[in-house]
């Protein structure tokens, strides 16, 4: 860490752990030059296929998104660490002191700006890009199903090929954060930013609406959708259900390498997965 802080040009730095992270180790850095956030990846092999070089992915996300959306700016990055600016505000998860409709409108506008960023191909940047979203997402889902089998997790069957036309509609690879649940959204009296872009990919903006309404329905959030400017079609609803199934499959599978043993949380995930699969049946 001393090497990283020195490379970033920080002096008199003091580190303190930041909670909330489930993959990287996260620290707040207080230095003479200001307040920063330092992330370091876990040692050993990744738990899931896509969990490779996530530090690099988040650095890319911040670099591309910070000019248009309220995300941290990169101060220093390599394969072992990411140092960014520290955004003001606190996570909105569990809070009752925020104007929720106003916050969701602000978030919808910010996320729309994020989705206007276009990439060179589809998929996770750290795993290699594909020329079509249908090919990329099919591969992404196939990878998590292979991860589940490797970790002994039984996932329900899902045949994406019968919905290929819906995925073929996606022709532009947009920048998608894919982890915008309330714990990664910061606010004081209003939105101050969003963090943890390590799971970002190039793909369908509709995928963003899964974590933005985790375990619920984004169509119950007209404030965000109106500010974003998105209107659902039948095909978009099919794709949303597939992205829900994908995220909830990840959440079920990652419990094994992370050692999670909460049966109630597993039930919540499985119930949400079952609802998504019902749309796709």
148/251 same-domain check: yes
Boundary-marking domain end, from 85, 113, 139? 85
> What whole-number distance in Å separates Cα of residue 87 and Cα of residue 209?
23
35/102 same-domain check: no
pLDDT category, 22, cuts 50, 70, 90? low
What does the buried/exposed string (b/e) look like for 64-99 if buried means 16 or more CB atoms within 10 Å of the residue's CB?
bbbeebbbbebbbbeeebbbbbbbebebbeeeeebe
**Domain CATH number, residue 76:** 3.30.200.20
Boundary-marking domain end, from 27, 56, 85? 85
Q: For residue 32, what are the domain limits?
A: 2-85
Average pLDDT value for the chain: 95
15/96 same-domain check: no
> What local confidence, expressed as pLDDT, does residue 25 receive?
87
Q: Residue 249: pLDDT above 90?
A: yes
pLDDT tens for each residue of 217-248: 999 999 999 999 999 999 999 999 999 999 99
Percent of the chain with pLDDT over 70: 99
166/34 same-domain check: no
Percent of the chain with pLDDT over 90: 88
User: DSSP string spanning 31-62?
Assistant: ETTEEEEEEEPPSSS-SSTT-SSHHHHHHHHH
Picking from 42-46, 125-129, 215-219, 272-276, which range would have the lowest pLDDT averaged per residue?
Answer: 42-46
pLDDT category, 104, cuts 50, 70, 90? very high
Contact call for residues 277 and 240 (beta carbons, < 8 A): no
169/267 same-domain check: yes
- Using CA atoms, how far residue 244 sits from 59, 179, 180, 197, 232, in Å, is 25, 12, 13, 18, 15
Task: Tokens 């899931």: give the residue.
Answer: 48
Boundary-marking domain end, from 68, 85, 102? 85
pLDDT tens for each residue of 146-178: 999 999 999 999 999 999 999 999 999 999 999
Q: Residue 47: pLDDT above 70?
A: yes
81/115 same-domain check: no
31/139 same-domain check: no
47/96 same-domain check: no
Q: Residue 20: pLDDT above 80?
A: no
48/178 same-domain check: no
**Domain CATH number, residue 153:** 3.90.1200.10
105/142 same-domain check: yes
129-136: average pLDDT:
98
57/183 same-domain check: no
Q: In this structure, what token pair is assigned to residue 246?
A: 């994908």
Task: Tokens 């248009």: give the residue.
Answer: 68
Q: How many structural domains compose the chain?
A: 2
Q: Residue 21: pLDDT above 70?
A: no
5-27: average pLDDT:
86
52/99 same-domain check: no
């Amino acid at each position: 860490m001393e090497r990283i802080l020195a490379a970033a040009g920080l002096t008199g730095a003091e580190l303190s752990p930041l909670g909330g992270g489930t993959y990287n180790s996260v620290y707040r850095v207080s230095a003479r030059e200001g307040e920063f956030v330092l992330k370091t990846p876990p040692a050993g092999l990744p738990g899931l296929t896509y969990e490779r070089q996530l530090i690099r992915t988040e650095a890319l996300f911040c670099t591309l998104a910070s000019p248009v959306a309220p995300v941290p700016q990169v101060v220093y990055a390599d394969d072992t660490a990411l140092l960014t600016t520290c955004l003001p505000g606190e996570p909105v998860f569990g809070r009752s002191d925020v104007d929720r409709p106003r916050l969701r409108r602000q978030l919808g506008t910010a996320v729309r700006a994020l989705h206007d960023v276009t990439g060179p191909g589809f998929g996770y940047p750290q795993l290699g890009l594909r020329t079509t979203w249908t090919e990329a997402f099919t591969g992404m889902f196939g990878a998590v199903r292979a991860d589940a089998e490797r970790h002994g997790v039984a996932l329900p069957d899902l045949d994406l090929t019968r919905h290929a036309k819906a995925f073929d509609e996606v022709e532009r690879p947009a920048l998608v954060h894919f982890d915008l649940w309330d714990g990664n959204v910061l606010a004081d009296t209003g939105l101050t930013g969003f963090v943890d872009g390590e799971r970002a990919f190039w793909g369908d903006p509709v995928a963003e609406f899964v974590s933005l309404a985790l375990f619920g329905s984004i169509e119950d959030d007209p404030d965000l959708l109106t500010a974003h400017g998105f209107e659902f079609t039948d095909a978009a609803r099919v794709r949303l259900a597939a992205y829900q199934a994908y995220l909830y499959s990840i959440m079920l599978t990652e419990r094994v390498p992370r050692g999670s043993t909460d049966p109630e949380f597993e039930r919540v995930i499985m119930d949400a997965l079952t609802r998504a699969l019902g749309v796709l049946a």
